[in-house]
Amino acid sequence: MAKQIKIFDTTLRDGEQSPGCSMNLAEKLEVARQLERLGVDVIEAGFPISSPDDFAAVQAIAGIIEHCTVAGLARATKEDIDKAYEAVKDAKHPRIHTFIATSDVHMEYKLKMTPEEVITRIHDMVSYAVGFGVEVEFSAEDASRTDRDFLLRAVNTAIDAGATVINIPDTVGYAMPEEMADLIRFLKHNIHKADEIELSVHCHNDLGLGVANSLASIGAGATQIECTINGIGERAGNASLEEIAMNLVTRHDYFDAKCNINTKQIYRSAQLICSITGVPLSPTKPITGANAFAHEAGIHQHGVLCNRSTYEIMSPESIGIPQNKMVLGKHSGKHAFADRLQSLGYTLSQDALVKAFDRFKRLADKKKIVSDRDIEALIGATNSGEEQPEQVKYVRYAIMSGNTIDSTVVVTLEIDGKEQEFTARSNGPIDACYRAIEGMLHSEAVLDTYGLQSVTEGIDAQAVVFVKMSKNGDTVTGRGLSTDIIEASIKAYLSALNKLL
Ligand code: KIV
Ligand code: ZN
């Protein structure tokens, strides 16, 4: 019987905590719904004490998720645990995830506590959390750099106090796969109630070994893996969920282990996180990067044409990369469009469908062939296809630009129902557009990052622009899509501003 591995997703906590990856409430709910579709076992929805927004997000996620366990993170203090309990208590399957550091360096310099004080705190706080009658996970932060005997004592204290999930984090991404495996084997042989406890690992990627360490731990007996979509997370990130899942599927012969991930939802999940965070994937990123299934060299192309298995160990279909079965274009009707959306796994309300069809028609006027990737991009970050309400709407722009002259642009916007236009000039076309918008709105928001990607190949490809903007400590992401890169840039800027305003 293949071993069952639980997937604990921390995209919304460790992932969201990483610089540039923050999400608003609507975005977090969208991600949580997608994680449920993806089939993760546990969603770590946030760190409720860290801010009122985080608390509200965990509570809202707990209210909508049906099948997954919803976990809230808490340091080993009563205040943190109270908040985490309040936030997750209405979930169908609530979990409090409490942690304290156990390595010498953390105890001495960060916690300023003695080892004995840490043991007492683990006993008291795990007991306190268990008292709420929900499932309790205990993490020994920096476990991989902790003295083994002390780690065993800490873990057994947590188990005796009622924790049923024990997590062993490689907090600073320091462990080597064989060391991690050895540690897990040691714990598996020595912890109390070894057969009843879910033994988990949480591996960071500082040395690029997050996934390797997680997989080595599975081989050694770990039954829960903590990971994130696209591997986002503190510093170099966490182990990537999609890489772990596809290793288990592709090398089932090696691991003899399985998980509940619906691999066909992997591509969509990765795209959703890119759109929301504005953090693009490297083209060579395993599984989901743009080149992961591209065969460039002649010899490879020839081999793949003869038989895909010559150079492909996984199929793009298996991770849900849309394959164009039937071409859609400007003569395609609403039924064909709705059918395609359905086969891509979208369920849109009537109103969202009408709007999406209108966007599709406008695109089909510009592009001969509308691919499934174009349609995915049109539906956008929200799987429901709903558009965010806009206070400021883009109407049109006109520009004169060249490499030997400044760019002069007239941007027309609809602000509170009235059209307004503004002219601006700068040495670049995008900067000129953004100055024109600022000339009308005086938002004083700061543009932190700007990124441009093409959705498909070809001269008529759509461009997607992501921007990050901030004002008074709030940072938001904006996304704009068009076959015209200047228009895509204006739309991205306005989508961010509409969130900030
Ligand atoms: O990396 C880490 O140690 C953590 C813990 C809170 C689990 O994120
Ligand atoms: Zn972490």
Ligand 1 site-directed mutation target among 18, 99, 205, most atoms within 8 Å of CB: 99
Distance 9 CA to ligand 2 centre (A): 11
Distance 2 CA to ligand 2 centre (A): 28
Distance 15 CA to ligand 2 centre (A): 8
Pick the CATH number of 392-500 from 3.20.10.10, 3.30.160.270, 1.10.3300.10, 3.40.50.920: 3.30.160.270
Per the CB < 8 A criterion, the answer to whether 421 and 408 are in contact is no
Distance 169 CA to ligand 1 centre (A): 6
3-state secondary structure at position 316: helix
Q: What are the beta bridge partners of residue 456?
A: none
Count of Cβ atoms closer than 10 Å to residue 51 Cβ: 11
- Which ligand is closest to the CA of 103, given by its number? 1
Distance 437 CA to ligand 2 centre (A): 40
Per the CB < 8 A criterion, the answer to whether 141 and 106 are in contact is yes
Long-range pairs, 407-413, Cβ under 8 A, ≥24 = 407/431, 407/432, 408/432, 409/433, 409/436, 410/436, 411/436, 411/437, 411/440, 411/490, 413/437, 413/440, 413/441, 413/494
Per-residue pLDDT, 474: 83
Distance 187 CA to ligand 1 centre (A): 18
Per-residue pLDDT, 319: 96
Per-residue pLDDT, 133: 98
Count of Cβ atoms closer than 10 Å to residue 250 Cβ: 15
Residue whose CA lies nearest to ligand 1 atom number 5: 141
Shortest-distance atom of ligand 1 to CA 73: 6
Q: Which amino acid is at 296?
A: E
Strands 135-141 and 446-454: unpaired
**Nearest in space to 263 (alpha carbons), one of 39, 42, 65, 29:** 39
Could you identify the residue written with the tokens 């004995």? 116
**Domain 3-277: CATH superfamily, name plus number:** Aldolase class I (3.20.20.70)
Q: For the whole model, what pTM was predicted?
A: 0.86
Per-residue pLDDT, 383: 52
Mean pLDDT split into 10-residue runs, the chain, 501 residues: 96 91 90 97 98 97 98 98 98 98 98 98 98 98 98 98 98 98 98 98 98 98 98 96 98 97 95 88 93 74 76 91 75 88 82 90 87 82 59 95 96 95 96 97 94 84 90 86 95 92 83
Q: Which amino acid is at 235?
A: R
Per-residue pLDDT, 490: 97
Per-residue pLDDT, 339: 87
Per-residue pLDDT, 121: 98
Residue whose CA lies nearest to ligand 1 atom number 8: 14
Cα–chain center distance at 165: 23
Alpha-carbon gap, residue 18 to 39, rounded angstroms: 24
Shortest-distance atom of ligand 1 to CA 10: 8
- Which ligand is closest to the CA of 232, given by its number? 2
Per the CB < 8 A criterion, the answer to whether 413 and 495 are in contact is no
- Which ligand is closest to the CA of 166, given by its number? 1
Strands 3-9 and 198-203: unpaired
Q: What are the beta bridge partners of residue 42?
A: 8, 69
Alpha-carbon gap, residue 201 to 214, rounded angstroms: 7
Per-residue pLDDT, 428: 96
Per-residue pLDDT, 331: 87
Count of Cβ atoms closer than 10 Å to residue 459 Cβ: 6
C-alpha dist (Å) from residue 455 to 128, 285, 452, 479, 492: 50, 17, 10, 13, 15
Q: Which residues line ligand 1 (CB under 6 A)?
A: 14, 99, 139, 141, 167, 169, 171, 202, 204
Contacts for 58 with CB less than 8 Å, ≥ 6 apart? 45, 46, 48, 70, 72, 84, 87, 88
Alpha-carbon gap, residue 246 to 261, rounded angstroms: 9
Per-residue pLDDT, 326: 66
Helix axes 148-160, 177-190, angle to 10 degrees: 50
At 199-237, the pLDDT tens digits run 999 999 999 999 999 999 999 999 999 999 999 999 999
Alpha-carbon gap, residue 83 to 91, rounded angstroms: 14
Alpha-carbon gap, residue 271 to 291, rounded angstroms: 15
Ligand 1 site-directed mutation target among 168, 204, 205, 214, most atoms within 8 Å of CB: 204
Ligand 1 site-directed mutation target among 11, 103, 171, 227, most atoms within 8 Å of CB: 171
DSSP-derived secondary structure letter, 278: -
DSSP-derived secondary structure letter, 177: H
Question: Residues whose CB is under 5 A from ligand 2 (ion)?
Answer: 14
Per-residue pLDDT, 153: 98
Alpha-carbon gap, residue 32 to 40, rounded angstroms: 10
Q: Can you read off the two tokens belonging to residue 26?
A: 């609507």
Per the CB < 8 A criterion, the answer to whether 90 and 59 are in contact is yes
Per the CB < 8 A criterion, the answer to whether 151 and 143 are in contact is yes
- Which ligand is closest to the CA of 171, given by its number? 1
Ligand 1 site-directed mutation target among 8, 42, 202, 204, most atoms within 8 Å of CB: 202
Distance 335 CA to ligand 1 centre (A): 48
Shortest-distance atom of ligand 1 to CA 204: 1
